[in-house]
């Protein structure tokens, strides 16, 4: 790559986006550049393209007055991963896009394209085009420059440099908005000008240049009186609040409006033609019935673009907008109406059907048609009463008109069809909570809640930037508590406006959860819960019952099986009900066959469910039994591993794969299921679920989730009617801590479990506790005690016919024998463990034991047999779908190749195994992979790389607890 980076293949060029959350791409592929502090370092370098930045300056830029304790030494730990992410594979440090030289760093000029540079180019191009008189080109370039902003520039980045750049870029953005508004005025697009300035007028109440542009646009729209009223309002505000008279420019525009000076206000007209927007150029003003446009419409740019895009002229175009209560559908279609109304010469009409207005009677098609006919000039006294005749009269009256019709709060297609105008080129925007699948529409749009950034921006506009920005964290928390619902945010804003002594943190503290949030989200006659209740009241009894199951569901996201078990129906029938709730905008569908209510909707559903306690208790028991069945079905412990549990437990899952897939789809919400059971006082089910989830979770590397679930229920184990639970849960914690690398904690859990199991006389938990003690004593260094414990546990497990436990115990005995050099005896134990695993039938368990057996064969020099065993293990690992098993089999294949003398291939396989490690990977497995890779490096004479792997293995958290592995790594390091 050349110094400037301009000779790169375009597909490999770097793109750095800074006008929003920081993002980096190579070609079209996004790059992971890590946490915000690292992003701040990148921004400080990239925005000074080609300039050397000293280390001290970089520290000041990113850390400010709170530098890290390590001073300059911390910077390489930020620059190195940036180079790794940004440079093409194989790039030497000297050729990196980030160069270290003369006490600092610089980003190679031209090595990356930034959106900030593109912003500068487009803005300059717009100014040149305007100076040359090409206003359309200037407007296009200015708009494209503004389009580069994706939110707050350098969003979330810490440090003085990022803050200064944020302010500079925000000022640049405001200047561009002013410039665009000026161009729109000069082009005679006054409605677009006013639309673009509406939000800015609220957030910048003292901006005289902004007021001047609004006055010019109002004048150009024929609204001279409003332009003069705006001046009086602005002058009053400046005098009362700042003690200042308006400046020269605003007074000049005021005089121009008084004199009707078109040349001053609207630009010089083309020779011989009246100026755009002048009285001579303007036709008779069409009727516009739209409600007032809200000044605070935030985060709806994409939706607005879809609703206002050009449509074919030869037909009536219909757009259907739906969304949950309070999401801002009306504000969106009204804004779209104001944006579009200038394109419809025969007027813009508005009809509110009031389907969900509890205070007033809903408007039926007959009443709506009468109003519409009067609006287009029909004689009120001569209108028929019959609906069909009214429809005919409406179609006749609109057949020659080009209208824009906005219909709000529609519930059904039957309400809307009679209102459709007949004139070609007319357009209809329909908004309602429910979807209207049987309405012929050219565009269907579901309005989703605002994202956090947009929700915070709405709060800033409602409360004022100074107040909102003084508590940024509280503003984000309030936005989250409101779930991005504009109605909730507006109520929040109103409450804070009327209580100036309240801080945002105080109000957020009054909303610690969604239940309390519903209580706080009411102001006067507006209430989020009341809006939800109106939607619920209009459901059929069958759908109301289905909606209450949403409140009883223990997870936020669920599939059709969850409501099916509560309703006692088939999964297909339950999914049909959920789909109908999606159509009613009471559920969202993040992906096929998965459903999710809005947080506040879920809280409302929970209240409705709790209002029928008998029904709620039955629903809760049904769904908790489902999770018990899923956990037990998905794990390797088998039916014998759970001697107690719910009476008559049956499973809706065909096999372990189905149960495992169902649990995997629940993602990180499984701990929430346990918490749900505990909160409801269902201690037996809470314990059974936590117990059943241990094996599925730890095998996926999710031991932290298993531990969290067990710690939740442990204080309630004594309250459970299942007397096994105090001992069983401690055994489960021991198993979890083994996978988490906390061996000494695991030993304490197993010792406590053994005492409790012996006092209770429970043979299974006694056997598990003894086995656990044996398994942890070995890596902790007490081999003699480990063998004694494991032999006792093997005898107990065999007698109990617990195939999982017997296999695990005997496999560990094999590991000890192998460590002591008795490889034939080790293989015999592994072979016996395999027999138990085959009887158990789970492919993951079989694959693990096959890998251990392969180790024994390798130690005996039987490479062909070892390869066969590992090959079969790899096939079973694919069938089991476990991440860690893939890592294990790749590493074992590398060891096979090492044994055959193919060291290059061995290194490649070990490195591939290393690449599969994730944050979930257990310490013992990562140690094992790194040790095997280090051994292959050492055998190949690559001692530096070998030492690196042994050091990293020794440095892993808790590595010293794994005495055999630690000693092996230490021996390897010393040998190098």
Q: What pLDDT, in 10s, does the model give residues 835-889?
A: 999 998 899 999 999 999 999 999 999 999 999 999 999 999 888 888 888 899 9
Residue 276 has pLDDT above 50, yes or no: no
Q: With a cut of 90, say whether residue 514 has pLDDT above it.
A: no
Could you report the per-residue pLDDT of 317-371, keeping only the tens digit for each? 999 999 998 899 999 999 999 889 888 888 899 998 888 665 455 678 888 888 8
The structure tokens listed for 364 are: 């039926």
Provide the pLDDT confidence category of residue 278 given band limits of 50, 70 and 90: very low
Q: Write down the pLDDT at residue 723.
A: 93
Give the pLDDT confidence score for residue 359 in this predicted structure: 47
d(CA 431, CA 94): 59
> Is the pLDDT assigned to residue 272 strictly greater than 70?
no
Split at pLDDT 50, 70, 90, the class of 608 is very high
Residue 174 — pLDDT band, cuts 50, 70, 90?
confident
Burial 108-137 (b: 16+ CB within 10 A, else e): bebbbbbbbbbbeebbebbeebbeeeebeb
Q: In terms of residues, how long is the chain? A: 976
Indicate the pLDDT class of residue 524, thresholds 50, 70 and 90.
low
Q: Are 592 and 538 in contact (CB under 8 A)?
A: no
Q: Is the distance from CB of 558 to CB of 595 less than 8 angstroms? A: yes
- In the chain, the percentage of residues whose pLDDT exceeds 90 is 41
pLDDT score of 480 more than 80: yes
619 or 243: whose pLDDT is higher?
Answer: 619
Percent of the chain with pLDDT over 70: 95
- Read off the pTM: 0.64
Judge contact between 672 and 562, C-beta under 8 A: no
Round to whole Å and give the CA distance between 521 and 503. 16
Average pLDDT on 55-71 reads: 83
Mean per-residue pLDDT, 575-587? 92
pLDDT of res. 12: 62
Per-residue pLDDT averaged across 716-742, rounded? 93
**Rounded to whole angstroms, what are the CA distances from 932 to 10, 329, 907, 945?**
40, 60, 9, 12
Q: How many CA atoms lie within 13 A of 402 on its CB side?
A: 13
Is residue 952's pLDDT more than 50?
A: yes
Does residue 561 have a pLDDT over 50? yes
Going from the C-alpha of 380 to that of each of 47, 287, 370, 398, the distances in angstroms are 66, 17, 8, 16
Task: Of 392, 361, 393, give the one whose Cα is nearest residue 377.
Answer: 393
pLDDT score recorded for residue 719: 94
Q: Are 24 and 85 in contact (CB under 8 A)?
A: yes
Mean pLDDT (the chain) is 87
* The pLDDT of residue 721 is above 90: yes
Q: Is 147 helix (H, G, I), strand (E, B) or coil?
A: helix
Average pLDDT over residues 772-777: 94
Q: pLDDT value at position 494?
A: 83
Name the band, by pLDDT with cuts 50, 70 and 90, for residue 384.
confident
pLDDT bucket at 4, cuts 50 / 70 / 90: very low
Do residues 311 and 317 lie in contact, with contact meaning Cβ atoms separated by under 8 Å?
Answer: yes
pLDDT for residue 251 is more than 80: yes
């Amino acid at each position: 790559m050349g110094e400037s980076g301009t000779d790169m293949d375009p597909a490999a060029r770097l793109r750095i986006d800074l006008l929003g959350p920081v993002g980096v791409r190579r070609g079209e592929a996004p790059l992971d550049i890590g946490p915000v502090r690292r992003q701040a370092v990148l921004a400080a370098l990239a925005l000074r393209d080609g300039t050397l930045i000293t280390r001290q300056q970089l520290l000041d830029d990113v850390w400010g007055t709170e530098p890290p304790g390590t001073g300059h030494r911390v910077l390489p730990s930020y620059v190195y991963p940036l180079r790794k992410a940004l440079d093409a594979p194989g790039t030497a440090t000297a050729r990196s896009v980030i160069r270290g030289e003369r006490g600092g760093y610089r980003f190679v000029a031209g090595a990356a394209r930034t959106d900030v540079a593109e912003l500068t180019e487009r803005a300059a191009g717009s100014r040149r085009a305007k100076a040359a008189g090409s206003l359309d080109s200037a407007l296009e370039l200015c708009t494209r420059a503004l389009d580069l902003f994706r939110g707050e520039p350098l969003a979330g980045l810490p440090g003085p440099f990022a803050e200064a750049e944020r302010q500079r870029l925000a000022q640049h953005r405001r200047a561009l908005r002013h410039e665009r508004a000026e161009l729109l005025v000069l082009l005679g697009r006054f409605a677009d000008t006013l639309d673009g300035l509406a939000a800015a007028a609220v957030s910048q109440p003292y901006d005289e240049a902004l007021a001047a542009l609004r006055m010019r646009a109002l004048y150009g729209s024929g609204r001279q009186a409003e332009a003069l009223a705006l001046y009086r309002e602005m002058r009053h505000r400046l005098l009362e609040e700042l003690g200042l008279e308006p400046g020269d420019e605003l007074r000049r525009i005021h005089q121009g409006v008084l004199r009707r000076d078109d040349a001053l206000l609207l630009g010089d007209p083309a020779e011989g033609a009246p100026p755009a927007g002048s009285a001579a150029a303007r036709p008779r003003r069409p009727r516009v019935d739209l409600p007032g446009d809200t000044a605070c419409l935030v985060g709806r740019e994409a939706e607005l673009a879809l609703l206002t895009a050009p449509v074919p002229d030869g037909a009536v175009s219909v757009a259907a907008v739906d969304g949950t209560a309070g999401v801002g559908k009306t504000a969106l279609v009204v804004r779209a109406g104001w944006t579009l109304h200038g394109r419809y010469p025969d007027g813009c009409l508005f009809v509110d059907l009031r389907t969900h207005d509890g205070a007033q009677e809903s408007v039926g098609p007959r009443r709506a048609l009468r109003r519409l006919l009067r609006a287009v000039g029909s004689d009120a006294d001569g209108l028929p009463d019959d609906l069909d005749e009214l429809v005919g009269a409406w179609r006749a009256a609109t057949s020659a008109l080009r209208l824009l019709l906005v219909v709000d709060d529609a519930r059904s297609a039957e309400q809307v069809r009679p209102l459709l105008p007949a004139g070609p080129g007319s357009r209809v925007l329909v908004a309602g909570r429910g979807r209207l699948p049987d309405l012929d529409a050219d565009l269907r749009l579901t309005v989703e809640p605002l994202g956090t950034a947009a929700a915070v921006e709405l709060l800033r506009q409602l409360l004022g930037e100074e107040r909102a920005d003084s508590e940024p964290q509280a503003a984000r928390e309030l936005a989250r508590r409101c779930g991005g619902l504009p109605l909730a945010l507006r109520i929040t804003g109103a409450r804070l406006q009327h209580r100036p002594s309240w801080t945002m943190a105080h109000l957020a503290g009054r909303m610690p959860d969604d239940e309390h949030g519903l209580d706080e989200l009411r102001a006067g006659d507006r209430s989020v819960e009341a809006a939800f209740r109106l939607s619920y009241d209009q459901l059929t009894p069958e759908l109301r019952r289905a909606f209450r199951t949403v409140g009883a569901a223990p997870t936020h996201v669920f599939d059709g099986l969850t409501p099916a078990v509560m309703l006692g129906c088939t999964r297909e029938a339950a999914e049909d009900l959920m789909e109908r709730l999606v159509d009613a905008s009471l559920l969202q569908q993040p992906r096929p066959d998965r459903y999710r209510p809005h947080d506040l909707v879920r809280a409302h559903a929970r209240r409705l469910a709790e209002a029928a306690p008998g029904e709620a208790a039955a629903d809760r028991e049904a769904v908790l039994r489902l999770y018990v069945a899923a956990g037990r079905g998905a794990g390797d412990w088998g039916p014998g591993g759970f001697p107690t549990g719910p009476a008559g437990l049956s499973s809706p899952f065909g096999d372990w794969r189905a149960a495992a897939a169902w649990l995997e789809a629940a993602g990180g919400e499984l701990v929430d299921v346990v918490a749900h059971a505990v909160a409801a006082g269902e201690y037996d089910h809470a314990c059974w679920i936590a117990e059943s989830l241990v094996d599925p979770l730890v095998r996926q590397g999710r031991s932290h989730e298993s531990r969290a679930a067990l710690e939740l229920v442990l204080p309630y184990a004594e309250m459970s009617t299942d007397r096994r639970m105090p001992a069983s849960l401690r055994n489960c914690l021991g198993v979890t801590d083994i996978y988490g690398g906390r061996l000494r904690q695991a030993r304490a859990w197993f010792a406590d479990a053994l005492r409790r199991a012996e006092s209770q006389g429970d043979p299974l938990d006694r056997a598990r506790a003894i086995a656990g003690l044996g398994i942890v004593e070995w890596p902790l260094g007490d081999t003699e005690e480990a063998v004694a414990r494991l032999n006792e546990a093997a005898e107990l497990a065999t007698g109990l016919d617990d195939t999982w436990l017997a296999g695990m115990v005997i496999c560990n005995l094999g590991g000890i024998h192998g460590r002591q050099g008795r490889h034939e005896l080790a293989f015999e134990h592994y072979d016996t463990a395999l027999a138990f695993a085959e009887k158990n039938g789970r492919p993951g368990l079989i694959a693990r034991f096959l890998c251990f057996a392969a180790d024994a064969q390798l130690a005996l020099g039987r490479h062909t047999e070892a390869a066969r065993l590992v090959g079969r293990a790899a096939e079973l690992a694919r069938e089991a779908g476990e991440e860690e098993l893939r890592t294990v089999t790749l590493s074992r294949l590398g060891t096979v190749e090492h044994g055959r003398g193919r060291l290059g291939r061995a290194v490649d396989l070990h490195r591939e195994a290393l690449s599969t490690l994730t944050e979930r990977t257990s310490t013992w497995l990562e140690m094992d992979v790194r040790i095997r890779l280090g051994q292959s490096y050492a055998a190949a004479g690559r001692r530096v790389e070998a030492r690196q792997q042994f050091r990293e293995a020794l440095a892993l958290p808790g590595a010293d607890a794994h005495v055999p592995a630690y000693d092996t790594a230490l021996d390897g390091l010393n040998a190098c």
